[in-house]
Each structure stands twice: as C-alpha cells, then as structure tokens.
Amino acid sequence: MDLSLFMNRYYLLLKIHYFLFYSAYGAIIPILNLTLRAHGLSNTEISYSNIILPFLIFFTSPLLGFIADHSRRFILTFNVILSIIIFLFLIMFFLPTVKSHHIQADMRHDHQHGYLLIFCASQEVATKCATRSECGCSYQARCVQDKTTFNFTFTMNSISIEKDLKDDTKSTCEIDYRVPIEEPFVENLPDDKSFEAKCEIVCSIPYFCHGLRYRQQVIYVLLYSLIYIIGSALLSNANAIGVSIGFSVLIRSDLIGKQRVWGTIGFGLTAFISSRLYGAFKKESVYICIFIIIALLTIIVTSFISIKNDDETIKRNKQTLNLSALIALLTDFDIFIFLSITLFWGMCHGCMYPFVYLYIDEIAPCQSRSIVGWMSLVSALSEVFALYIARRILKFFGTNISSIIIFLAFAVRFGGYYFIQQPYHFIFVETMHFFTFGILYVLMAQKADSIAPPGLSGTLQGIAHGISHGLGRGIGLLISSLIYIVFQERLLFLVFMIFNIIAAIIYSIYFLLQWRNSSHKSPTSSNNDDDEDDKKNRIGIALESDESIDKESLVSISRMKINTDNS
C-alpha cells in the first residue's frame, strides 16, 4: 500500500498533530500559575488575570475562527498563532522576577507575653505556611540587636496571637500582628525588659511570606499578566482551530473523538515526564524547553496535513462568508438552546477549576498535591476512554439524551465534592470526567460542525468554544469567587449541583416537547417539504434529530463524496 494513501486512510498526520499539540499544552499549562507565583505575583494578581482570561477567549475565539474560515487557511492560521505563543511564553519565563522586601518586624519584651514579634502583613502570611507546618513550612526570624545577629524559628498557631485589622485604605498591609515567641526559641536571650531588636521574617516556602515590593515593579507585574492572558487565550484559540482542522480532514464528523484521544494521551504523558524532569534538575526552564521543542514539531507536522477543498466548496464559501447565514443561524431557537447549554457547561468548568483544587488545599494542605495528582490521573484515563467510544455513546443515546446525562454527571460530581468528607475519596468522583469533558467535548464539536452553514464551520466552532471556555467559564469564575469568599467553600459545590439538576429537568422538558411536536408533524411532513427546504436554504443547516444522529451535515456529505472519489 502506498505510504501517503496509508497515512490518509488512518489519519496518521492528524493523530500526530493532536498528540504533539496537546503534549505542548501539557508541558506548559499546568505550571503557568505556579510560575507566576514563583516569579513574585500575588494570589490576588493571579486571580485577576484568570478572571480576565476567559472573557478575552470569548471575544477572540470567534474572530480567529472567522479569519480561518474566510481565508480557508486553517493550517497557516494555526501555525502563526502557535509561533506567537512560543515567543510570548519564552519572554515570560526569562523576565526578571518581581522583587519584594522581607517582612520587617520589631522584637520586644512584654511583661505579660514575654518576647513578642510585632509586624504588619497580609492574612496569607498567618495561614498559608501555618497550615503547612506538617509539610515542612516554617517561619524564621533573622534579627539584629546591638550588632549581634541571631536567628530562630517560630510558629503562627498560638491562640495568644493578637491581630488588629487595618481600616486605613492607604495602608500597605492588612493586619498588625503581635506574635508571642515561645521559650525554646529564645532561651539564650537576656531577660531584659528594655530589649529591642530589628528582624526580618521569611518562610521556608518563600512566596508565602513577602513584604513591600521594590520600586518600579508594577511594569513587570503588568508584563507577566499581559503575556499570561494573551498567550493562554491564543493557546485556547489554537485548540478551537485544531478542531476545525480535524473536521476539514475527516470524512465523517463522528470520527473526531478517535483522533482527539491521542491529544489526551500526549497531554498526560508530557505533563508527567515534565514533572519528573523538573524533579531531577530543579529548574523551571525544563518546562519552557520541552514546550518549545514540541511546539516546533507540531508546526512542522501540521504543515503537511492536507485539507480537501473542491471547487463547489470554495464557491459556496465565498457566497456564505458575508455572515448573513451565521446571523440567521444564531436566531434559530434550537441553536440558541445549544449555545445556552454550552454556556452553562462552561460555567461548571469555571467552578471546578481552580476551586476544587483550592478546596482540597484548604482541607488537606499537606496531601493536596498527591490527591490532585491521582485525581488528574483518573480523569485523564476517563477522558481517553470517553473520547475513544464517544461516537458509539452519541450514536446510541443521541445528542439530546447525552446532554441530559452530562448535566446529571456534573450534578454527581459536584455532589461528591460537597458530601464526601475524605478528600482522597474525591478520586472516585473524577470518573465523571468521562461525561463532563470527554463526551461533552465530542458532542459540542460534532454538533457545531453539523449545524454550521457551509464555509462557517470554523466560525461556529470558535463561537461554541468562546461561549463555553470564554464567557461561560468567566461567569462561572465570578459566581464561584463570590460564593467561595463570602459564604462557605463547600456551599459552592452544593449550589452548582442543584443548578445542574434544575438544568437537566428543564432541558428534559424541552426535549420531550420537541419530540412530541416532531411526532405530531411527521404525518404531514410531505406537505411541509417546501417550507422545510426554504428554512434549510435560508439558514444553511439540517437540524439533527435525536432518532438519527448518523445523518451528517451537507458539508460532511460533500467531504465524504470527495474522499470516496479520490480513494
């Protein structure tokens, strides 16, 4: 068999493309927030960046999808975006760190509490390291008194610690602390009531304890934030365009899951190998080097992917790229329902990431990394299995029933986070990732491709991606932040569990009404053929019925014919 025919038949280049792209994704995405924190950004600054990011994705994803559709150069658009990402992240990793002073403290002798450390710092200083004392995090004071230096270790767990919250908005710190020093730490100090020393407070994990920043550090904070937001948004957009590349190559849209599964495998392998290499070399440059090498390989392999375009398809694209068909598409009520569902699913993902991991870090700080690692392993295995059999699942249940199942799976997942008391048992809940990402991903991509007007598949993929990963995730982050901070951490998961149950009920009712209406219309469908044909020509789609998910869109049928003729 000819090599090129063999590769086209089994889509080897497409599989390699997904494997390499998501391998690069796995090398860089999991550690970006950790890199920002290690380079001196505060948790608040990182949180603001993560809130802005999904809204940028919402606006840029449809735009880049339309550009790719308009030019019909999906591969060139993808490669240019990935090249820009390489350049941005390379800059970010080698920018100077944001420099901060150590926390300045006064050490005095008090007749009631003995020796005291008096300093002003944030709430995080008293909690982050203190809750990780069993993990090896400790507070250290480096003091000077009459040109004599001495160091000692102390704790922030004493009930005698006094905290005075500052109300002054101009204050550079949040709380005034008066921390009693236990005798074992200061047994060699003189018992002098007039004793006074100047100290610097540090933590064994540096970013838990830092004071005021050096001057002119705001420019670096802005640079880090902008590069992170723009680079991550472009990486997410490249993901959507990669889906469009897949649909432009495949003869049937329901084959996308078996191609995309190689991306999940690549993500998991590279994330694991990168963490092992970092453990061996202890240098964060390991991550950026792996990312750049794999990203360059991705660009090379993607350049050799062949996208089929016959004269009829090109002519149809030119007629529809004025967005009139897309506007008609978005005014259809069934399409509105589909996009509203993707919005809600995006909100659920905005709640889960990062708030599930933050919650685990609160209730089991010393075991959180291990628990998250096992959860990631289980979710990755579930995702691989889901992507591999997604075609059969969607064919058996149909898109409507599958959507209801996804809502219920989200409800089970959030319910597990709320009701389960032992965080290690969260690992079993992660099996729901089978539905809440694996089946969801293929359903969204396949549905968007099947209902898109000719020539606007990439645009609609971008819209669906932007609504889910952009607008939906952004709204989910805002709502989750409010509930998580103002109310109670666990309450957040109960709220989203109830929302998903309500959504499943509402969508079930809509599905039943839709099915009943279609059943009533079926005896007279022959009388309405002209009206239906006019609607299909106006919108450019054929709505997919739940009873026959194997019906492909006009674009997919055209591609099937082209590939059949060529083979």
The tens digit of pLDDT for each residue in 90-132 reads 999 999 988 888 888 998 887 777 788 888 887 777 777 777 7
Bigger pLDDT: 319 vs 172 = 172
Strand duo 139-145 + 148-154: pairing = antiparallel
Residue 494: the pLDDT is 93
Q: 180-189, 206-215, 249-258 — which is least confidently predicted?
A: 180-189
DSSP, res 55: H
CA distance 405 to 503: 11
Q: How confident is the model at residue 440 (pLDDT cuts 50, 70, 90)?
A: very high
Going by pLDDT thresholds of 50, 70 and 90, the confidence category of residue 212 is confident
CA triplet 492, 497, 501: central angle to 5 degrees?
A: 150
Tens-place pLDDT, residues 379-426? 888 988 998 898 889 989 988 899 999 999 999 999 999 999 888 899
Measuring CA to CA, how many Å separate 197 from each of 117, 142, 182, 532, 551? 9, 10, 16, 86, 79
- Burial profile 377-402: b = 16 or more Cβ within 10 angstroms, e = fewer: ebbbbbbbbbbbbbbebbeebbbbeb
If pLDDT is split at 50, 70 and 90, which confidence band does 455 have?
low
pLDDT at 326 over 80: no
CA distance 461 to 496: 26
pLDDT in tens, 266-305: 888 888 888 888 878 878 889 999 999 999 999 999 999 8
Are the CB atoms for 180 and 159 separated by under 8 Å? no
